[in-house]
């Protein structure tokens, strides 16, 4: 036996001994069954993976940014590369973001990736939930995962809001002030919420440290926990699968390695057929190596997309807005696109909706109704939807939106509602484009907010219902 052969044998023995040592402690053999778990080969199912990989990139880039960010509103003398602020006293948070952007190698690029990852994170969650909604993949027994996903969507928006408040430039400070006003408008507990989230009356020296703590620890940990729960439920339950056109032939795995949903995808064993109506078996790619390879491709495509966005598209330019100035307000203040609908509620609500409840003397402001109550109702309606469109028996096949008239009609109406509310959040830009004032466009948008979703929903239902009836006749 040559020396090379002896080295190979020793390496093999070392690997076997290592595996046996780990197996005796972690029971790795029982985990092999997961490697054959079937994942349906559906491209739209990968939107959830895009969201997961965006979160990973947010954590990694956030760790880099956190090394240089100073969560403080104390004034310091700026000595960086931006000539406009040389020698001026600026908030330390503002100065540190300028330092990251213009003085740290790759700082601007990493900050841009972090920014776009946050946007893609919210967008991929939203698209993923739309796919689940329109295909009915939330139905029994997957209602808990839909509720978890709704929580993830809310936390993603909260993470983004606390993030763009941190630079403490004029734009961020104004947006933070709006959030503070909404928080303190909550009856009974508003002042407590303002102290917990914003560190007291805004602006205060505790505001940025408090938001920073929420942004880098509390909300990411909550997102990670919900992601873990989401994945655990996904692994525990079978995947939903598109209806099959015909019976599927495949290899039945040996009995010792067979899992409930791996019967049609593993190598080895005997030839078998899965009936097109059989929802006890998922037909798809095994978790390893096939799905793992697909996930790797999705990860690198997500990374490439974020790198391209970070390389070619600028993000919020804090140097243009300048540091926080309590005496001034930027000419154009708007939230990010995923919060624009909330801003639209605030702009459309009439002042008479601010009132005081008799006897108890509790004041209900338009800020509370538009910025807290209505968004809560929207998220609440989303969360309870699987219990409205309830199925007593488990459903493991997805459905075509064309075969679900009233559910699809509700989804179309909801999208129209959010879109028009988002347009209302940009009413000043709309008025400027039409060369009219906001007092002209606001009544039109208010009517459209209720009429357009209702009409589009009814039209969608009628078209799909008629098509379904014609299909039955044929």
What pLDDT score does 239 carry? 82
Tell the CATH superfamily of the 34-246+282-323 domain.
Cytochrome Bc1 Complex; Chain C (1.20.810.10)
pLDDT digits (tens, 9 = 90+) for 354-403: 888 888 888 899 999 999 999 999 999 999 999 999 989 999 899 999 99
pLDDT digits (tens, 9 = 90+) for 217-271: 999 999 999 999 999 998 888 788 888 878 777 655 544 444 445 444 444 445 5
Give the position of tokens 């959830």: 48
Give the position of tokens 């940990």: 221
Mode of pairing for the β-strands spanning 248-252 and 89-91: unpaired
Mode of pairing for the β-strands spanning 285-286 and 270-274: unpaired
- Domain residue limits, the chain: 34-246+282-323
Among residues 24, 26, 31, 23, which one has the least CA distance to residue 259? 31
Sequential pLDDT tens for the chain (474 residues): 577 677 677 766 777 888 787 777 777 777 666 677 777 878 788 999 999 999 999 999 999 999 999 999 999 999 999 999 999 999 999 999 999 999 999 999 999 999 999 999 999 999 999 999 999 999 999 999 999 999 999 999 999 999 988 999 998 888 899 999 999 999 999 999 999 999 988 888 999 999 999 999 999 999 999 999 999 998 888 788 888 878 777 655 544 444 445 444 444 445 567 887 777 788 878 878 888 899 999 999 999 999 999 999 999 899 998 998 877 777 777 899 999 999 999 999 998 888 888 888 888 999 999 999 999 999 999 999 999 999 899 998 999 999 999 999 999 999 999 999 999 999 999 999 999 999 999 999 999 999 999 999 999 999 999 776 655 444
Distance CA 453, CA 460 (A): 10
Distance CA 187, CA 201 (A): 16
Cβ atoms 40, 239 nearer than 8 A: yes
What pLDDT score does 470 carry? 55
Distances (CA, A) of 370 to 29, 231, 282, 425: 55, 34, 44, 12
Distances (CA, A) of 40 to 136, 151, 174: 16, 25, 46
Instruction: Give the DSSP per-residue string, 107-163.
Output: HHHHHHHHHHHHHHHHHHHHHHHHHHHHHTTTSTT-HHHHHHHHHHHHHHHHHHHHH
């Amino acid at each position: 036996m040559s020396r090379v052969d002896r080295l190979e044998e020793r390496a093999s023995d070392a690997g076997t001994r290592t595996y046996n040592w780990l197996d005796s402690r972690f029971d790795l053999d029982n985990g092999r069954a997961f490697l054959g778990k079937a994942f349906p080969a559906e491209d739209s199912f990968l939107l959830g993976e895009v969201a997961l990989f965006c979160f990973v990139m947010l954590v990694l880039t956030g760790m880099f940014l956190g090394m240089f960010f100073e969560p403080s509103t104390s004034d310091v003398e700026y000595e960086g590369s931006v000539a406009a602020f040389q020698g001026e006293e600026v908030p330390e948070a503002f100065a540190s973001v300028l330092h990251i952007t213009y003085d740290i190698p790759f700082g601007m690029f990493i900050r841009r990736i972090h920014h776009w990852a946050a946007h893609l994170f919210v967008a991929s969650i939203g698209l993923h939930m739309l796919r689940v909604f329109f295909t009915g993949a939330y139905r029994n027994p997957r209602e808990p995962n839909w509720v978890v996903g709704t929580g993830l969507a809310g936390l993603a928006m909260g993470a983004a809001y606390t993030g763009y408040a941190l630079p403490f430039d004029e734009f961020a400070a104004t947006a933070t002030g709006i959030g503070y006003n909404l928080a303190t408008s909550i009856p009974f507990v508003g002042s407590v919420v303002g102290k917990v989230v914003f560190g007291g009356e805004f602006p205060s020296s505790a505001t940025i440290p408090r938001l920073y703590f929420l942004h880098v620890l509390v909300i990411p940990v909550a997102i990670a926990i919900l992601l873990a729960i989401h994945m655990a439920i996904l692994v525990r339950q079978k995947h939903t699968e598109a209806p099959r056109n015909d019976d599927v032939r495949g290899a039945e795995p040996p009995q010792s390695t067979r899992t409930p949903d791996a019967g049609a995808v593993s190598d080895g064993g005997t030839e078998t057929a899965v009936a097109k109506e059989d929802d006890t078996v998922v037909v798809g790619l095994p978790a390893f190596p096939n799905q793992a390879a697909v996930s790797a491709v999705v990860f690198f495509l997500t990374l490439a997309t974020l790198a391209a966005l970070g390389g070619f598209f600028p993000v919020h330019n804090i140097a243009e807005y300048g540091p926080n100035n309590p005496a001034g307000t930027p000419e154009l203040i708007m939230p990010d696109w995923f919060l624009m609908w909330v801003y639209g509620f605030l702009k459309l609500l009439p002042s008479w909706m601010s009132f005081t409840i008799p006897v108890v003397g509790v004041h209900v402001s338009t800020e509370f109704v538009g910025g807290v109550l209505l968004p809560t109702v929207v998220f609440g309606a989303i969360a309870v939807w699987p219990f409205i469109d309830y199925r007593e028996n488990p459903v493991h096949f997805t459905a075509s939106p064309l075969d679900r008239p009233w559910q699809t009609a509700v989804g179309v109406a909801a999208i129209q509602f959010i879109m028009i509310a988002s347009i209302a959040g940009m009413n000043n830009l709309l008025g400027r484009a039409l060369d009219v004032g906001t007092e002209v466009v606001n009544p039109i948008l208010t009517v459209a907010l209720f009429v357009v979703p209702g009409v589009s929903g009814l039209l969608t239902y009628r078209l799909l219902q008629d098509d379904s009836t014609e299909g039955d006749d044929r």
